[in-house]
Structure 1
Amino acid sequence: MHIATAAASPTDVHYRERLSPSLWVLLSAAVVAPMVALVFVPLDATVALVVGILVAASLMTVLLFASPLVIVSGGELRVGRAHIPVSQLGAPVGLVGAEARSARGPALPRSAWHLLRGGIDPVVRVPVTDPRDPVTEWVFSTRTPDRVVAAIERAQRAAEKTRHD
């Protein structure tokens, strides 16, 4: 789910994305239905079918709604439960392909904060400019790195403008 809007103030939502699981993960969760149903078949076939469907639907719902969000809003970048003011961030960089694989693996610094999701190839790297923060950069998955980068830059400009006013 993507909501990208051109916002006028730093409190408006610039970007929102749910890092939902891939279709393969959801299909794997759906396979739980027949397995659970087999357990309840000795009791009653109808009960087995209903319980299997309910368990699979519940599992897929949890997988979807427990997925982390990437939000740029209110002068803040939120990724999952972590958040940081955009004024403490440097220039964001969106990476895809081999660059993204490197950023998720061998080029991922020990001092970086990261939220990486399997099945989502692109990542965004954002340096942290606060010298007191032990985290040097944020690295996180996103399906649309160009939109995230643009939203962070818009939020940084809006925060800078309100700071000078």
Structure 2
Amino acid sequence: MNDEHDRPRDAAAPVPPAFRERLLPGPGAWVLAIGFGVLVVILLLPLAPLVAPGAGVLAAAVTVAVLMASAPLVEVRSGELRAGAARVPVAVLGQVTPIFSAEEMRLALGPDLDARAYVCLRTWARTGLRVDLRDPLDPTPYWLVSTRRPDELADALVEAGAGR
């Protein structure tokens, strides 16, 4: 009886994330990346007609690669919130407040912003989430994180133990 269900689970197996979102740019940025490649072709065509198409493709590809590489990951996994390069244990998170409109996000990033807050912002994600920190040793009062799915991120954090 070699049934996979009878085998003990590997303790080192990776835990799937409760929430995962890569904050990739919207369609406009991808069009601009291709437009940049076309512009390179136009500029180089009179100078090096044989090199221009390759340089244009290379310029567009590099621009796309930079856009993808610079897109932060927002993730809730293994009792931890990750936003870009920063990580915080869910156990020290307090109130979770989704931000559902661009106007609310503008206020949170403008007049209501505490300069000590950690901000993981991408302008193409016009909604987000504010999560308070309850760690007395951390001077950061809260995190403000861009996400296109603020309700799902809030639910994942609450499920993981935020605010308890």
Normalising by the smaller structure, the TM-score range is: 0.7 to 0.9
Given candidates 67, 71, 90, the residue that maps to 1:67 is 71
Query: Aligned to 1:78, what secondary structure does the other structure show?
Result: strand
Question: Given the alignment of the two structures, is residue 36 of structure 1 paired with residue 45 of structure 2, yes or no?
Answer: no
Q: Percent identity?
A: 37
Deviations 1:105-145 (A, max 9, x none): 11111221111111211110000000110000000100000
Deviates more, 1:44-53 or 1:105-114: 44-53
| Map of 2:89 onto structure 1 | 85
| Map of 2:28 onto structure 1 | 24
Q: Distance in 2 between matches of 1:101 and 1:66?
A: 22
Q: Distance in 2 between matches of 1:58 and 1:148?
A: 31
Q: Distance in 2 between matches of 1:66 and 1:109?
A: 25
The residue type equivalent to 2:96 in the other structure is P
Q: Distance in 1 between matches of 2:137 and 2:44?
A: 57
Q: What is the correspondence of 1:102-121 to structure 2 with a 5 Å cutoff?
A: 102-121=107-126
| Map of 1:144 onto structure 2 | 149
Q: Distance in 2 between matches of 1:78 and 1:46?
A: 46
> Aligned residues, how many?
149
**Does the CA-based 8 Å contact 1:11-1:75 persist in structure 2?**
no
- The structure 1 segments of at least 4 consecutive aligned residues displaced by more than 3 Å after TM superposition are none
> Which structure: greater helix fraction?
1
Given candidates 43, 53, 59, the residue that maps to 2:57 is 53
**Structure 2 regions of 5+ residues with no counterpart?**
1-13
Query: Aligned to 1:90, what secondary structure does the other structure show?
Result: strand
**Does the CA-based 8 Å contact 1:104-1:116 persist in structure 2?**
no
The residue type equivalent to 2:153 in the other structure is V
**TM-score when normalising by structure 1:** 0.82
| Map of 1:124 onto structure 2 | 129
**Rg: which structure is higher?**
2
| Map of 1:96 onto structure 2 | 100
Deviations 1:32-63 (A, max 9, x none): 11222134324543421122012112211220
Q: Distance in 2 between matches of 1:43 and 1:105?
A: 47
